A and B are shown apart, each in its own frame.
Chain A
Amino acid sequence: MKTRLLVQISYSLLMARWKQTLVAAIGVTFSITMFITLLSFMSGLNDLLDGLVINRTPHIRLYNEIQPTKKQAVELSSEYKNNHNFIHSIKPKNELQQIRNSGAIIQSLKKDNRVLGVAPKINLQVFYNVGTTDINGIINGIEVEEENRLFFFKDYVTQGNYIDLKNISNSIILGKGIADRMLVNIGDVVQITTSKGERVPMKVVGFFQSGLQEIDKIQSYTNITTAQKLLGESNAYVTDLQIKLKDLKQAPFLAKEFASMYDVEAIDIQTANAQFETGSSVRSLISYAVGITLLIVSGFGIYNILNMMIYEKMDSIAILKATGFSGRDVKKIFIGIALSIGVFGGLLGLFFGFGLSFIIDNIPFNTAALPTIKTYPINYNPKFYIIGTIFSILTTYFAGYFPSKKASKVDPVVIIRGK
């Protein structure tokens, strides 16, 4: 009953000055709109840039590094335990980069319910032959379907059909960069030289574009069996196991586990791509800073209108106090005005923020570097709307707090005596 009365008084005072309060509310609306739009857009952009890496990068990569045995046989021998081993700068054995027992490891990983999938891969150093010059390159031998399921391979094949890689023998999908340098079209045959010096003709069935030019200038894809053939290895030969997890955050922890379990090297995505995390958080930070600055500015608008209102309504405050309203009641009345401005302006802001984000989401955005992106990216995370609401209420509360406090301190005797 009592609160309702105070709300009613707030409302009446507010309506008597609706033009000014509307201006103040529009200030809040504007800042919340910008806050929402900015964060949605920035976050969309972050997701896009992260996606460039995260979609394409295994959460954990298992591989073998060619290095000399850490403990030499002589050190393990009990016979020479008290002797000093003076042989240094030991060279590794002529061993291949292959992961031993890869078939069993794949089987075991596929059973692990923390793992979404495993795609084996072979890294192959080659030269692309362009006339008389040779260009350094890498061919990735992949299991086409699994690569597509886990790492969206299809999205990056901008020309040609990715599945041809599996169906056509000795086929290759060239990076757009290298394809341009070699001046080839789909259906042409290119010559490549393997690291063992063999020259092999391969049929171009597509081009791919990763969005990262450095990659597109070097890398190409072929079927894993073709790669094994190029190397003259058996079908058990695999250099990399690319693992995608159900929960990305577990990658560092599981990388350690897999490394010791399978006796291989393992690197997790967080360690491999630390710089992306930093970029994303800096961009978010900037958007929050801009959004909050806007809100504070609109807070001053509310502060002003309330101060003006209190100055105008001195008589009303005096008589309310004379007839039995306490300082606290008066404070609540004016805080009520501030909060209504905040809530009304804020809600409209959320609405417009969504609208503006939606518009941006539909603006065409085509860039050669990002083949899968057709419009500007927007992230409609409800988190931004919740934060926007909380901030609009907080800023208007604080903007209203000091003028309201002033109003609560008005001495009716001073006002009444002045008449």
Chain B
Amino acid sequence: MAMKILEAQNIIKYFHDPVSVQVLKNINFSVTQGEFISIIGKSGCGKSTLLYILSTMDTDYEGMLYIEGKSMKKLKEAELACVRNEKIGFVFQFHYLLNEFNVLQNVMLPGLKLAKYNKQEVEHRAFEKLKILGIEKEVYKHPNQLSGGQKQRVAIARALINDPIIIMGDEPTGNLDKKNSEIVFDIFKQLSEEFNQTLLIVTHDNEFAARTHRIIEMEDGIILKKD
């Protein structure tokens, strides 16, 4: 039986500004190793909010979150940063690449921070990841010299650098055109199939979702259907 790598139990989230609103109402679900999951739902139903909680960036919630069986509830800010560094890879709608660094350095940064490998090894691994994503020719360019699709692929390479147990994406194709969206989806699919990478991707693109292993549908802060 495959391992549960992430589990959410009774997650509740309120926003208090300007008025108290409950945006997540008792969310329960788990992710097992190797799954390719998409979260869909209308705009404003709480998908991003949930993803930020699952990614440990948002700590202001009720309920329990387990990553590899370990509760994230009591961890300090620096410990959570380590969890994100080592175990989670992120892809957002916007690429968030650092313009002061070239493509290679951008991909290397989380790897250097983890310091599991030395600089040469991290560089070598960054090359490999960029090769998987088909942008090994752009390594010495700066982010502002790349197209939107290329930037997003660099962001995916950066998410992969530490071999995370899960990749989380918040509408990673939201800013891309049809063709580039297709490329990004194919990359996710390849990661899932070839490398058995676990992926949890928020999307509003139903066509995209339909091609994943499992669809979690949300509405007004609750999960409608988990497949």
Contact = CB atoms under 8 A, between A and B. Distances in A.
A416 interface: yes
Contact of B100 (A2, A16, A323): A16
A326 to B, nearest CB: 4
Contacts of A2: 113, 115
Contacts of B90: 322-323
Size class of B's contact patch? 20 to 34
Contact of A413 (B52, B110, B158): B52
Contacts of B94: 315, 416, 419
Contacts of B82: 324, 326
Contacts of A416: 52, 57, 92, 94, 96, 170
A328 B98 contact: no
B86 interface: yes
A321 B57 CA distance: 9
Given A326-B81, A413-B58, A15 B100 contact: yes
Contacts of A419: 92-94
Contact of B113 (A13, A325, A327): A325
A324 B81 contact: yes
A5 B110 CA distance: 10
Interface residues of A, number: 27
Given A5-B112, A324-B86, A417-B48, A318 B78 contact: no
A5 B113 contact: yes
A324 B84 CA distance: 5
Q: Which 5 residue pairs are nearest across A and B when measured between Cβ atoms?
A: A324-B85, A319-B96, A326-B78, A326-B81, A12-B100
A195 interface: no
A4 to B, nearest CB: 9
Interface of A (DSSP majority class): helix
B99 A323 contact: no
B57 A323 contact: no
A416 B94 CA distance: 8
B96 A315 contact: yes
Contacts of B158: 323
Contacts of A412: 57
B27 interface: no
Contacts of A326: 77-78, 81-82
Interface in B84-106: 84-86, 90, 92-94, 96-101
8 contacts: A1-B112, A315-B96, A319-B96, A323-B109, A323-B158, A324-B85, A413-B57, A419-B92
Interface in B137-195: 158, 170
A316 interface: yes
Nearest to A324: B85
Contact of A16 (B81, B99, B115): B99
A417 B55 CA distance: 14
A89 to B, nearest CB: 88
Interface string A181-215: 00000000000000000000000000000000000
Given A1-B112, A316-B100, A325-B113, 15 more contacts: A12-B101, A13-B100, A16-B100, A316-B96, A319-B96, A321-B57, A322-B90, A323-B85, A323-B90, A326-B81, A327-B81, A329-B81, A416-B94, A416-B96, A416-B170
A322 B57 contact: yes
B45 interface: no
Interface string A309-337: 00000011011111111111100000000
Interface string A80-116: 0000000000000000000000000000000000000
Contacts of A320: 109
A327 B114 contact: no
A328 B81 CA distance: 10
Contacts of B96: 315-316, 318-319, 322, 416
Contacts of A9: 109
A166 to B, nearest CB: 78
Contacts of B114: 324
A12 B98 CA distance: 10
Nearest to B79: A326
A281 B109 CA distance: 54
Contacts of A328: 78
Q: Which of A323, A327, A412 has the most chain B CB atoms inside 10 A of its CB?
A: A323
B85 A1 contact: no
A413 B122 CA distance: 27
